[in-house]
Each structure stands twice: as structure tokens, then as C-alpha cells.
Structure 1
Amino acid sequence: MKHLGRHVLAEICGCDFDILNDINRVEEIMVNAALEAGAEVRECVFHKFSPQGVSGVVVISESHLAIHTWPELGYAAVDVFTCGEKVNPWDACNYLTDHFNAKQTTAKEMKRGMMPEVYLGEAVNL
């Protein structure tokens, strides 16, 4: 059975407060993580919360990267969802871990779009 994409869910902990609370730095790091993974960036939307925290999405041709930060806890919840074989979501996660100065990252990968070959146009014996 083939899959359409890979979805990495990452718990990034022990991060630098000042980085996670800076909307411009979070956006820059997220965009660079996408590029580091080999993605083509299309659009970005980020929002700064009061008194702290940032949420955002980087839309890539291959799907998306999303984040929500809790600077006061040094924590970021991150999704990296990629389709196709060109982009490696783990490269993006490793980049984020490094650039948020994280002390620990726990992540798991899920295969998305697990579809029988018949739906992917490879076997059409109906």
C-alpha cells in the first residue's frame, strides 16, 4: 500500500524564550526549515499573541509546516507535513530543534493517505 505523504509531529522542549516569543524570528526559522528540507515556500501566516506566544503556518508546494509556541514553557508544538519524495520532513524538524536552541525534541512520523493502489491509478481492475 502506498502513501501520499509523511506527517511529523514534534514536541520541541527547552527552547529559548526570546526566540519563541519573537514572531519575526519564528517565521524566519520556519521558512528556513522548509527550505532546508527542500520545499518550495508559497505563503506564510503568523500571529503574535499577548502576553506571549506565536502561531503560524508556512504553506509549501508539498503541504505545510505549522507551529504554536508557549515561550513561558520553552515549548513549541510543530507539524511538518510533506507530500511526495522530494522533501524530507525530518530535515525541517532537525533545523527547528537547532535554531530554537532546544534541549529535547520528541517526534513521531505518520504516513498520510494510505491508499490501495487502485485509488492511485496503478491497478484498475474493478
Structure 2
Amino acid sequence: MHALGFHYLIELYECDHNLLKNSNFLENLLRESVKESGATEIGHVFHEFSPHGVSGVVLISESHFSIHTWPEHNYAAVDLFTCNPDLKIQHVYQKLKKELESPKSSILEIKRGIEI
């Protein structure tokens, strides 16, 4: 069956909590990840919450990359959604694990837009 989109749910545990509070770091990390994946950025917005946590999204011509962090739990949730099956998603996954110093993580792919 042909999918219209591919949604990747990335769970990152035991991350460095200081990195998860740093909106500038996270913005740069996600924007670099978009570029390295082969996607085309068309916009972005990031917000730092008080007392802690960051949410951000990078809009790409193929859909979006987003991140939500819970520094108090050393946890980050990342969604990558694309209509382009050729993006380097595994490269992005490895980069996120390394940069956020996450020794425990998972990735789940969900095919979207499959008519049933």
C-alpha cells in the first residue's frame, strides 16, 4: 500500500536537562537536523515556558519537525512528519540522541494516509 505521509515519533529519555531548557540550542539543533535530513525549511517558531520546557516546530515544505521538552523529567518528544520517504530520518534520530545525550530512546514509524 502507498502511504501519503510518514510520521516518526521519537522518545528521548535521560537527556541532559540543561540542554532541554535551552531554546536557542534546541532551535539550532532542529534546524540543522532539517537541513541534514534533506528537507526544505520554510519557517520556524520556538517557545520557552516558565518555569521550564521548550516547544518548537520547524515547518518544512514536506510537512514539519517538532520538539517538546520536559527538563524536569530529562525527556524530549520529537515528531517528524513528511511526505518524502527519502529523507534521512535515521541520521536525524542518531543526531538527536547524541546531541541531547540520551542513552535511552526509541523511534516509531507510522504510515499516514493509507486508505482502508
TM-score (norm 2): 0.93
How does 1:2-13 map onto structure 2 within 5 Å? Answer: 2-13=2-13
Structure 1 vs Structure 2 CA RMSD: 1.3
* 1:96 Cα offset (Å): 1.1
Gaps of 5+ in 2: none
Whether the aligned pair in 2 keeps the contact of 1:2 and 1:114 (CA below 8 Å) is yes
Q: Is the aligned partner of 1:84 residue 2:84? A: yes
CA distance in 1, matches of 2:23, 2:68: 11
Q: Say how many residue pairs are matched.
A: 116
Whether the aligned pair in 2 keeps the contact of 1:8 and 1:90 (CA below 8 Å) is no
Partner of 2:58: 58
Listed one character per residue, the Cα deviations across residues 21-42 of structure 1 (whole Å, up to 9, x for unaligned) are 0000010001111111111111
CA distance in 1, matches of 2:87, 2:45: 21
Partner of 2:111: 111
* 1:100 Cα offset (Å): 0.7
Listed one character per residue, the Cα deviations across residues 4-28 of structure 1 (whole Å, up to 9, x for unaligned) are 1111101101111111100000100
* 1:90 Cα offset (Å): 2.6
Q: Is the aligned partner of 1:48 residue 2:48? A: yes
* 1:92 Cα offset (Å): 1.9
Gaps of 5+ in 1: 117-126
Whether the aligned pair in 1 keeps the contact of 2:17 and 2:72 (CA below 8 Å) is yes
Whether the aligned pair in 1 keeps the contact of 2:21 and 2:52 (CA below 8 Å) is yes
Q: Secondary structure at the match of 1:15?
A: coil
Q: Is the aligned partner of 1:20 residue 2:39? A: no
Percent identical pairs in the alignment equals 43
CA distance in 1, matches of 2:99, 2:84: 26
CA distance in 2, matches of 1:104, 1:38: 26
